[in-house]
Amino acid sequence: MLKLDGKTLVYDRAFTHNGMQYPRNWLRLTSLSEKQAIGITEAADPVTPSYDQKFYWGVGNPKDIDQLKVDWIAKQKKEAASHLAPTDWLVTRYAEAATVIPTKTKDYRAAVRTVCGEREAQITACADTDELCALITASATIKNDKDEDVVNPAAIKDWPTE
């Protein structure tokens, strides 16, 4: 950030100093020594605190933890439902015609429900907004005991075609 007489100078904006007008490209075209010769100084940009709007109303102003838990558990359930939806027709077919559901599909659906339940328990266990924010924003990889992705329908081989 460049300052002149206590005012911040903006690149690509003309300015006037001691009755002299400087064109908008002057700051880009001059060296640091030329800028310093007329009294321009460099100052560090101020650090603006940031916050995650999903969890905070502002810096140091967290949203209600109980409502956040309700919202994030609902999102978790919706996510689980989206992973179960591609195989719902197999469950319906089984209920209507007693057609066997492939074991891989049953295992996948059970894993999705298990992971969803575990995630809901993690969300419920959060004591405050900071802890919930850390949990939700951390990168998570959900694997089974064979180190395979358990929430990826494309990972299931041998999908029934009928």
Full DSSP string of 82-105: HHHGGGHHHHHHHHHH-PPPPHHH
- Which pLDDT band holds residue 158 (cuts at 50, 70, 90)? low
Of all residues in the chain, what percent carry a pLDDT higher than 90? 78
Full DSSP string of 2-19: EEETTEEE-TT--EEETT
Residue 48 has pLDDT above 80, yes or no: yes
Instruction: Supply the pLDDT for residue 47.
Output: 87
C-alpha distance from residue 98 to each of 85, 94, 101, 127, 161 (Å): 19, 4, 9, 46, 16
pTM of the model: 0.62
Instruction: Supply the pLDDT for residue 150.
Output: 54
Mean pLDDT lowest for which of 25-39, 41-55, 140-154?
140-154
Long-range Cβ contact pairs of 86-90 (< 8 A, separation 24 or more):
86/153, 87/153, 90/160
Angle at CA 23, nearest 5°, toward 12 and 37? 95
